[in-house]
């Protein structure tokens, strides 16, 4: 199934890796280091950051009224998000073992680290916690769904997608009935790239 599309997807993965390396270079520029899951700033930088933090009273007095009024709605969405997190985690814990699909490592997708930024006040840190969790959760769910789709229905769409998930390059072309019937079982098992990534 090596096609131009597969080659382009591989090129995108390489560019994504380059982007991650460039982001890591910012550690030196902004004087921080990442050790495990902890982020550490140099003492002088941390002091400067604390001086730039906006006081809660000022933050609230400058906040747009509509932002304040819509905040409860934003936080209400957290309830179904937590339920989604739980059900998807249970789903993959049970079903992926049955199907022989490598499990998605949740902690690789849900990254919450903005609490180390001393220039954020309590509300800003809380907002960042929410966004880090929610966006990470969506990415985690997408990866679980992508691996599930590779197992059950690995067929590309005829219509253009807004975004393609990580497994899409392994799917059969829309309308390739012969390829689908001939290679479905091997495509269902084609997770070697994930195993290599886990080792590397």
Average confidence (pLDDT) over 71-97 = 97
State the pLDDT confidence band at 199, using cuts at 50, 70 and 90: very low
CB 6 within 8 A of CB 80: no
pLDDT at 57 over 80: yes
Tell me which of 34 and 181 has the higher pLDDT: 181
Domain contains 16: no
CB 130 within 8 A of CB 74: yes
Long-range contacts of 73-76, Cβ-Cβ distance < 8 Å, separation of 24 or more: 74/130, 75/130
Residue 109 belongs to domain spanning: 52-199
Mean pLDDT rounded to a whole number for the chain: 88
pLDDT at 3 over 70: yes
Domain contains 121: yes
State the pLDDT confidence band at 125, using cuts at 50, 70 and 90: very high
Average confidence (pLDDT) over 157-180 = 91
- Specify the range with the lowest mean pLDDT, choosing from 9-13, 33-37, 99-103: 33-37
The pLDDT value recorded for residue 31 is 67
Gyration radius of the chain over CA positions: 21
Domain contains 10: no
CB 50 within 8 A of CB 118: yes
Domain contains 42: no
Per-residue pLDDT tens over the stretch 132-162: 999 999 999 999 999 999 999 999 999 998 9
Domain contains 125: yes
Helix H segments across the chain?
A: 4-29, 43-52, 56-62, 65-76, 78-91, 97-99, 106-109, 122-152, 177-188, 192-199
Domain contains 173: yes
C-alpha 120/C-alpha 129 separation (Å) is 12
The pLDDT value recorded for residue 198 is 54
Considering its fold, how many domains does the chain have in total? Answer: 1
Half-sphere exposure for 177 (CA within 13 Å, toward CB): 0
Domain contains 189: yes
pLDDT at 197 over 80: no
Domain contains 83: yes
């Amino acid at each position: 199934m090596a096609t131009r599309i597969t080659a382009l997807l591989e090129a995108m993965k390489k560019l994504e890796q380059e982007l991650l390396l460039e982001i890591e270079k910012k550690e030196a520029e902004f004087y921080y280091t990442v050790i495990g899951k902890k982020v550490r700033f140099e003492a002088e930088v941390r002091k400067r950051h604390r001086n730039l933090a906006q006081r809660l009273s000022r933050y609230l007095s400058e906040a747009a009224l509509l932002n304040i009024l819509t905040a409860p709605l934003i936080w209400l969405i957290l309830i179904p998000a937590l339920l989604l997190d739980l059900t998807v985690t249970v789903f993959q814990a049970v079903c992926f073992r049955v199907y022989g699909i490598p499990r998605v490592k949740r902690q690789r997708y849900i990254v919450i680290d903005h609490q180390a930024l001393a220039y954020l006040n309590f509300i800003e840190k809380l907002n960042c916690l929410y966004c880090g969790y929610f966006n990470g959760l969506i990415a985690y769910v997408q990866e679980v769904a992508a691996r599930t789709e590779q197992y059950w229905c690995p067929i590309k769409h005829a219509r253009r997608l807004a975004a393609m998930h990580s497994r899409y390059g392994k799917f059969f072309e829309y309308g390739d009935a012969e390829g689908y019937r001939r290679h479905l079982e091997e495509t269902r098992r084609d997770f070697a790239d994930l195993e290599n990534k886990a080792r590397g």
